[in-house]
Amino acid sequence: RGRIVPHAVFQAWFSYTILITFGLVWAIYRIFTSQASNLESLPDIKPLKENVRNYVPQKAAMPPGHTLELSQSQRFGNIEVTPVKVTKGNLEIEGWDPEGPVLKLFIKFKNVSNDQTIVPLDGELLFDQNRNRSLQDAGAVANQFVCKASEKSKAGKAVLVYARFADLDFEFRNQNLGRALKPGEEVTIYIPSETDGLGALKGDLIWRVHFRKGHSPKNYGVTTVFEVKFTSDDIQA
């Protein structure tokens, strides 16, 4: 004779299988939806233990609220950012002849925290570029670049920031890079592009920015990325 399973045991088994199935579906959902939200908080440029740098793939989609237009303000962590304008002209370097032309993205950073002093953008964040060839081929070259919106998914089709003198002791005139902001303070910083490849930047454009939005409870820097949408007609002389 066949063995009869008690009703209570069957109910417990049935409930367990439903719970396991739900858990599996939720795990799969989290895997497919977490990629963009992971960009919300990146480790600072120099992790204390692991010698790892996070380069967001060029084609990565931005999380909600991380794509701005010129003059649009958005708060990220303890910093409010406002992309002000994009200009084209020479880049003045203290102690060097001018270079150019370059594009410059001007961004206003405001510290909206109550108790943190924050450097939203410094040379370590601005000029950091990936030297790993395999990651370059995968489209993860830098977290600061400008490109055509239609070519964002194409590796190698971006203009990086001007970093020719990044290893030297130099300053761009009136850039305000590395300024520490106390609560309530603000500063406007410009990001200069490279000189090559500007002729191809026509139509709808995207400028990705990597900056520091505050500090963790252990005082580690926490960074994130956002993108600015604009067109070549928005570029001022």
pLDDT in tens, 100-139: 899 999 999 999 999 999 999 999 899 988 766 555 555 5
Work out how many domains the chain is built from and give that number: 1
Domain harbouring 94, CATH code: 2.60.40.1240
- Detail the DSSP E strand segments found in 12-73: 42-43, 67-69
Does the residue 97 lie in any domain?
Answer: yes
Model pLDDT, residue 129: 83
Is residue 5 scored above 50 in pLDDT? no
Domain around 194:
41-234
Supply the pTM of this predicted model.
Answer: 0.78
Model pLDDT, residue 11: 56
Does the residue 187 lie in any domain?
Answer: yes
All residues at 6 or more sequence positions from 38 whose CB lies less than 8 Å from its CB, including other chains: none
Does the residue 28 lie in any domain?
Answer: no
Does the residue 15 lie in any domain?
Answer: no
Does the residue 33 lie in any domain?
Answer: no
pLDDT tens digits, 148-195: 999 998 877 899 999 876 666 678 999 999 999 999 999 999 999 999
Residue 217 buriedness (CB in 10 A; 0-12 / 13-18 / 19+): exposed
- Return the structure tokens found at 188: 């406007």
Does the residue 138 lie in any domain?
Answer: yes
